[in-house]
Chain A
Amino acid sequence: MSPTASTSTPTTPVPINERTVLALSNVTKSYPGTPPVHAIRGLDLDIRAGELVAIVGPSGSGKSTLLHVIGTLDRATSGTVSVAGYDVDDLNDKQLSSLRSRHIGFVFQQFFLLAGETALDNVADGLLYTGMALSHRRVLAKQALDQVGLAHRMSHEATKLSGGERQRVAIARALIGSPDIILADEPTGNLDSKSGEDVVRLIENLNADGTTIVVITHDHEIAARFPRRVSLLDGRIVEDTRLVETGGMQ
């Protein structure tokens, strides 16, 4: 275990890989306008395979913008972004789509499940744009639903499930195909505290199984539980701490 460039001694509950899945270097993002909005102002961030990272900050601090840049849904104004070993600057829009289809999973506050489809098919949609046959995707979707504990809800219409279940379906959809990184934007934002707690625990379990996850939240309580916490304010990282697990490997 070599320490990463951070403010505290790195120790995590699960071993962190050498492999960098995400590297941002001096990234800025400005929205044109008068005056222009500088949502991200010079940001460096390295995330390695197996990490569970909370990005916290007040509303308007640039969290969603950061997630969109990391997720290649939007391009940085300047600086370099590399995801899963690909330098985003080198890729055209089609290649970015491809990168998202195979290497990045998304979870949103609003779930974004497709109405009129079963939970299974919503999860199978996670690999829709890889061109994999539906039958094959359904097999993987079943495993992913199993992982989030919703195998029994497989053939229910996804949008008719409870909020917590819907978010777990969305997490399964992000999980399917084992992407290099899962990005979650306020995944508990629309949930009651009980369901929110279930979702956070699920995220922790998935990470324990080796999945790299970045969770955006304005909830400091949740952020505090995660092994690594990156605090944003006005588009800048003001704090990047790794939890020192007492009694863990030092």
Chain B
Amino acid sequence: MNVSLEPSRLAPADMMRASLIGLRTRRLRSILSGLGIVIGIAAMVGVLGLSESSKSDLLAQLDQLGTNMLRIEAGSGIGIGTGELPEDSTAMVSRVGPVEQVASISEVESSVYRTDLVPEGQTGGITVKAVDANLLATLQGQMASGIFLDEAASDLPVVVLGSVAAERLGVTDGAGGTVVWLGNEWFSVVGVMDTLDLSPDLDRAALVSYSTAEEFLDHDGVPSTIYVRSDPDDIDAVRSVLPATVNPENPDEVEVTRPSDALEAKEAADQAFTNLLLGLGAVALLVGGVGIANVMVISVLERRGEIGLRRALGATKGHISIQFLGESLILATLGGLGGVALGSAVTAAYAWSQGWDVLIPTVAVVGGLSAALIIGVVAGLYPAMRAARVSPTEALRTL
């Protein structure tokens, strides 16, 4: 006499509602249990976002400064070289085909002070250098104020300060006609440079022209450093011929470096730190997952009566496990969304404070949410299985 029995069904909307009951009735506990996920995802999104934002800043910086600059120095190893390059180095380098710009720097044995009253020796770490007039252009640097050393003023007692040097000498405005005590002479400050990312040593220097150095500071003009801009396509070739060009007899005593490599190396170091933080974020996620599983197991024990009732109302074991799995999934997803929001906010705030472009990588958002979903499922599996195995008769007997 059996007519076919339609299977019991749970509409998707009702499934969702059932899964939300635990969250609605145990709000504080749910929030606390989701917190681990929030923190874990926020850490990962924040770390990835910040590293991406800083990287994009660096790329922009590299783009602006160019990677086609080379720096030539006298080798500084033990027992080699004099710390000086051959006198005609600059001219030799200019003759290399793809070289577009050459500017040299020469160390001047002198010191600069704010006034003539400052005791000798208190230089504040500021060096004096004689430089070519096209140095700033070669470095693609900018003036913060005033002008760079130009040909017209090449034999007057004028000086341009690096950003740190200016600060230490108390010069705020390069165009303000301030004077400083350099060598045994008053020099007028005509300009202050912006920070130079590719040659930070110049930030702490006072720059004069070669002719000024010769006239007022009794300087011989032998270069110690040469900056070269080359055709970007030939940079490697240029790099390899430079030592022999500069010092054909002892090419080993010449050191050629690419300053932009240092910035890239710094980025690589940052990457290692990023990976460490990502690892910590993953640990927080794991702990968050365990937290959810723990809360869910307790919830299953507390809600045995409800489980028994639902079985009496026609729920299959599958319906019960789906409900608890859904609850865990919702908890983790909310945690994931909260984490993405928090991580993005932190990234945005920090990037903004650093003047970077805000970059929240899609991979962080998608990855963070997927991680949350996976954790939700994994954390919910065991509690869901426990819930499905609750015997309805025993659950309904309990008072």
* Cα-based distance from A71 to B10 in the complex (angstroms): 20
B301-330 toward A: CB 8 Å interface, digit per residue (1/0)? 000011011111111111100000000000
The verdict on B95 contacting chain A, using a C-beta distance below 8 Å, is no
* Cα-based distance from A93 to B5 in the complex (angstroms): 12
Which residues in B have their C-beta under 8 angstroms from that of A90? 2
| Cβ contact of A86, chosen from B2, B11, B312, cutoff 8 A | B2
Q: A97-B314, A100-B313, A100-B314 are in contact. Are A129 and B305 (CB under 8 A)?
A: no
* B residues neighboring A (CB under 8 Å): 1-3, 5-11, 13-14, 17-18, 21, 24-25, 305-306, 308-319, 392-393, 396-397, 399
Closest to B311 in A: A73
CB distance from B312 to the nearest CB of A (A): 4
* Cα-based distance from A145 to B18 in the complex (angstroms): 22
* Cα-based distance from A94 to B317 in the complex (angstroms): 8
User: Which 7 pairs between the two chains have the least Cβ-Cβ distance?
Assistant: A101-B314, A131-B9, A129-B314, A112-B309, A101-B8, A129-B8, A98-B8
The verdict on A99 contacting chain B, using a C-beta distance below 8 Å, is yes
CB distance from A194 to the nearest CB of B (A): 22
| Cβ contact of B6, chosen from A87, A98, A117, cutoff 8 A | A98
- Whether B14 contacts A134 by the Cβ 8 Å rule is yes
The verdict on A128 contacting chain B, using a C-beta distance below 8 Å, is yes
Q: A95-B5, A128-B313 are in contact. Are A74 and B393 (CB under 8 A)?
A: yes
| Cβ contact of A130, chosen from B1, B314, B396, cutoff 8 A | B314
* Cα-based distance from A130 to B311 in the complex (angstroms): 12
* Cα-based distance from A109 to B308 in the complex (angstroms): 13
- Whether B314 contacts A128 by the Cβ 8 Å rule is yes
- Whether B21 contacts A114 by the Cβ 8 Å rule is yes
Q: A86-B5, A91-B5, A131-B8 are in contact. Are A112 and B314 (CB under 8 A)?
A: no
CB distance from B321 to the nearest CB of A (A): 13
The verdict on A30 contacting chain B, using a C-beta distance below 8 Å, is no
Which residues in B have their C-beta under 8 angstroms from that of A185? 396
Q: A68-B393, A102-B6, A116-B24 are in contact. Are A133 and B313 (CB under 8 A)?
A: no
- Whether B399 contacts A110 by the Cβ 8 Å rule is yes
* Cα-based distance from A146 to B318 in the complex (angstroms): 33
Q: A112-B306, A112-B309 are in contact. Are A128 and B393 (CB under 8 A)?
A: no
- Whether B2 contacts A85 by the Cβ 8 Å rule is yes
Q: A73-B396, A93-B317 are in contact. Are A112 and B10 (CB under 8 A)?
A: no
- Whether A132 contacts B3 by the Cβ 8 Å rule is no
| Cβ contact of A134, chosen from B6, B11, B312, B313, cutoff 8 A | B11
CB distance from B215 to the nearest CB of A (A): 90
* Cα-based distance from A129 to B14 in the complex (angstroms): 9
Which residues in A have their C-beta under 8 angstroms from that of B319? 97, 129
- Whether A97 contacts B315 by the Cβ 8 Å rule is yes
**A contacts with B: majority SS:** mixed
A68-93 toward B: CB 8 Å interface, digit per residue (1/0)? 10010110000000000111001101
- Whether A64 contacts B397 by the Cβ 8 Å rule is yes
The verdict on A226 contacting chain B, using a C-beta distance below 8 Å, is no
CB distance from A143 to the nearest CB of B (A): 18
- Whether A132 contacts B11 by the Cβ 8 Å rule is yes
A: number of interface residues (CB 8 Å): 38
* Cα-based distance from A85 to B1 in the complex (angstroms): 6
22 pairs, A vs B, C-beta closer than 8 Å: A86-B2, A87-B2, A94-B318, A97-B7, A97-B8, A97-B315, A98-B6, A98-B7, A100-B312, A101-B8, A106-B309, A106-B312, A110-B399, A112-B306, A112-B308, A114-B306, A126-B313, A129-B314, A129-B315, A130-B9, A134-B11, A185-B396
Give the one of A64, A73, A115 with max B CB within 10 A: A73
| Cβ contact of B10, chosen from A99, A109, A131, cutoff 8 A | A131
The verdict on A125 contacting chain B, using a C-beta distance below 8 Å, is yes
Closest to A91 in B: B5
Which residues in B have their C-beta under 8 angstroms from that of A115? 25
Closest to A189 in B: B399
CB distance from B2 to the nearest CB of A (A): 6
Which residues in B have their C-beta under 8 angstroms from that of A74? 392-393
Which residues in A have their C-beta under 8 angstroms from that of B315? 97, 101, 128-129
Closest to B317 in A: A93
* Cα-based distance from A99 to B17 in the complex (angstroms): 23
Given A128-B14, A134-B11, A134-B13, 9 new contacts (CB under 8 A) = A71-B312, A85-B1, A95-B7, A100-B312, A112-B396, A128-B313, A128-B315, A129-B313, A131-B10
* Cα-based distance from A121 to B21 in the complex (angstroms): 12
* Cα-based distance from A128 to B313 in the complex (angstroms): 7
- Whether B7 contacts A94 by the Cβ 8 Å rule is yes
| Cβ contact of B9, chosen from A64, A100, A125, A129, cutoff 8 A | A129
Which residues in B have their C-beta under 8 angstroms from that of A131? 8-11
Closest to A131 in B: B9
Which residues in A have their C-beta under 8 angstroms from that of B6? 98, 102
Closest to A110 in B: B399
Which residues in A have their C-beta under 8 angstroms from that of B2? 85-87, 90
Which residues in A have their C-beta under 8 angstroms from that of B392? 68, 73-74
Which residues in B have their C-beta under 8 angstroms from that of A94? 7-8, 316, 318
Which residues in B have their C-beta under 8 angstroms from that of A68? 392-393, 396
* Cα-based distance from A106 to B396 in the complex (angstroms): 11
* Cα-based distance from A112 to B397 in the complex (angstroms): 11
Which residues in A have their C-beta under 8 angstroms from that of B316? 93-94, 97, 129
